[in-house]
Amino acid sequence: MKRKLINSFIILSASSAIAKLFSILNRMILARQLSSEAMALYILVMPTVSLCITLGQLGIPSAVFRLVANPKYNNKKIIISAFTICLFTCVIVMSTLLFASKFISHDLLKNEGAFYPLLSLALFIPLVGISGIIKNYFLARQNVFLVAKAGFVEEIARLAFSYFMIRKFAFLADTYLVSFATFAMSIGELSSIIYLSTRLKDHKITTFNKKSIVNNLQIKDMLNIAMPLTGSRLYHCVVSFLEPITLVFVLTKFNLSESTIHQQYAIISGYVISLLVTPTFFNNVIYRLFLPIITDDVVYKKFSAAKKHMFLALLGSFLISVPFTLIFYFIPEFCLKILYNTTSGANYLKYMAIPFTIFYLQTPLSALLQALNKNKLMFIISIIECTSEIILVYVLSHYIGVFSIAVSLLTGLLITLVISAGACYKYLFCTNN
């Protein structure tokens, strides 16, 4: 058991590290190929990307993971149901995006250059939905290495396409270059789907007719798992989507240009926060390994074991964060320069590094809440966190400008940590008394 756990940790860590490295490499290349204005535009449309992904997937990939891992469900039925729901939701989201792109870019984001990058995301929505379903199917089947290889194929294709197209058409306007960068995500997902689809044939779940589709739908079971997961994610994405809109609305009243606001937003949201969350791939590994262990402790009411495992998970999360925190604090200019070819935001990175440690400690707490089936509490926590963030952004932006994003984020993380820690403490130390 211990050996299997160690092997899983190594595989998950390696695959997560590779995926994160390629993500960072993609940002590095884009930062060197695109102008600061183009990078600001790229980062500006990213919250819309996250919102579209959440709406398009509707939590279905996570539901696939849960159901496939349950032996009472037929894998073929799960995949058919997942693809059916995904097709329906993606068509709606795609259609909405195609019709609303002009309104979002012109009236909400206050940047007409965002129109074409938003349009280029239309194909990405169904592709990321399909890719998520297939990846989670293989993850549930404990084929982690295959998913890791698919991620490698995806990132290579994405990098190659964006690098070639931006280099080849460097003379074009920023809006078209950013469109290449956003469309590259579709190329990456498509490559991943093609690679994984060849492996699905071995599982005999890709061949079915219309009659089998009708007879094998398990929509209810799928949605019962997917909808609670989607609620908090969706709310969080909506808040992230509203952040730049709120900043533009408030700061333009202080005679700041929209381009200046967008660039400052890109520095904090795109550079600083992206760097701060770099260690999270280790935390994701801890979450995946810790969740089944703590779930077993909860089911069999092994309180002593749960306390021990929680302590080890918190300690592991903290120790992972320490070297990154020290690096970000002492050499912020170097980190930003080597990754994004800029030193803008170095002070933000330095002073956010230490308090951001609370973000890493949330991982084991979330796992325990998940094991306890505290979905309602987790949703309430998410609502409180996100609502407080958007309120603080609106209020504080009058006084500290774009830095209000950093303050609101740290405040939201602190609120989440306190409430989650309180709930976990109550279970671990009060329930068995």
Q: Is residue 276 part of a domain?
A: yes
How high is the mean pLDDT of the chain? 83
For the chain, first and last CA: distance in Å?
31
Chain-centroid distance, C-alpha 390: 19
Residue 242 lies in a domain: no
Domain of 81 in residue numbering reads as 1-229
Note whether 97 and 133 are same-domain residues: yes
In the chain, pLDDT over 70 holds for what percent of residues? 89
Of 382, 390, 351, nearest to 366 by C-alpha is 382
Q: Identify whether residues 302 and 386 lie together within a single domain.
A: yes
Task: With a cut of 70, say whether residue 209 has pLDDT above it.
Answer: no
pLDDT tens for each residue of 281-303: 777 777 777 777 888 888 888 88
pTM of the model: 0.80
Which residue in the block uniquely carries the two structure tokens 């937003």?
265
Q: State both tokens at 174.
A: 């920023």
Q: What is the pLDDT of residue 212?
A: 47
The predicted structure's pLDDT at residue 4: 55
- pLDDT score, position 284: 74
Tokens of 275: 């760097």
Task: Look up residue 205 and give its two tokens.
Answer: 């779940």
Band of pLDDT at residue 120, cut at 50, 70 and 90: very high
Judge if 125 and 195 occupy the same domain: yes
Q: What does the block give as tokens for 394?
A: 């609106």
Predicted confidence (pLDDT) at residue 279 exceeds the cutoff of 90? no
| Same domain as 409, residue 301 | yes
Query: Is residue 158 predicted with pLDDT exceeding 80?
Result: yes
- Residue 34 lies inside a defined structural domain of this protein: yes
Same domain, 179 and 320: no
Q: 318: closest CA among 282, 349, 278? A: 282
Q: State whether 89 and 206 are in the same domain.
A: yes
Whether 239 is in a domain gets the answer: no
Per residue in 387-407, pLDDT tens? 899 999 999 998 888 889 899
Q: What phi, psi does 255 have (nearest 5°)?
A: 65, 25
pLDDT score recorded for residue 71? 66
pLDDT score, position 328: 93
In single-letter form, the type of residue at position 66 comes to: R
d(CA 129, CA 79): 12
Please state, in angstroms and rounded to a whole number, the distance separating the CA atoms of residues 30 and 374.
Answer: 40
Instruction: Spell out the SS3 assignment of 56-68.
Output: HHCCHHHHHHHHH
Gap between the Cα atoms of 73 and 79, Å rounded: 11
Three-class secondary structure of residue 433 per DSSP = coil
Q: Does residue 260 sit in the same domain as residue 405? A: yes
CB-CB neighbours of 226 under 10 Å: 23
The pLDDT value recorded for residue 69 is: 65
Residue 205 binned pLDDT confidence (cut-offs 50, 70, 90): low
Q: What was the pLDDT predicted at 425?
A: 92
Domain membership flag for residue 10: yes
Same domain, 418 and 366: yes
With CA atoms as reference, report the closest residue to 253 among 408, 110, 82.
110
Q: What's the pLDDT score for residue 213? A: 45
170 and 51 part of one domain: yes
How large is the average pLDDT for residues 331-357?
90
For residue 72, count other CB atoms closer than 10 A to its CB: 5
- 98, 170: one domain: yes
Cβ neighbors of 387 (< 8 A, separation 6 or more) are 239
pLDDT (tens digit per residue) in 30-62: 888 888 889 889 988 988 888 888 888 888 887
> Given this model, what pLDDT does residue 124 score?
92
Mean pLDDT of all residues in 78-97 = 88
How many structural domains is the chain composed of? 2
4 occurs within a structural domain: yes
Give residue-wise pLDDT tens across range 1-24.
455 555 666 666 666 667 777 777
Query: Which band of pLDDT confidence, cut at 50, 70 and 90, is reported for residue 408?
Result: very high
**48: Cβ contacts below 8 Å, ≥ 6 apart:** 104, 118, 121, 241
Distance from C-alpha of 90 to C-alpha of 81, rounded to nearest angstrom: 14
Stretch 171-189: mean pLDDT: 93
- 243 belongs to a structural domain: no
pLDDT at position 255 over 80:
no
pLDDT of residue 410: 92
On whether both 293 and 395 belong to a single domain, the answer is yes
Q: Taking the CB of residue 96, how many other CB atoms lie within 10 A of it?
A: 13
Claim to verify: residue 297 and residue 418 sit in the same structural domain: yes
Q: Which residue has the higher pLDDT, 81 or 407?
A: 407
What is the chain's Cα-based Rg? 22
* Closest C-alpha to 405, from 244, 250, 259, 271: 244
237 belongs to a structural domain: no
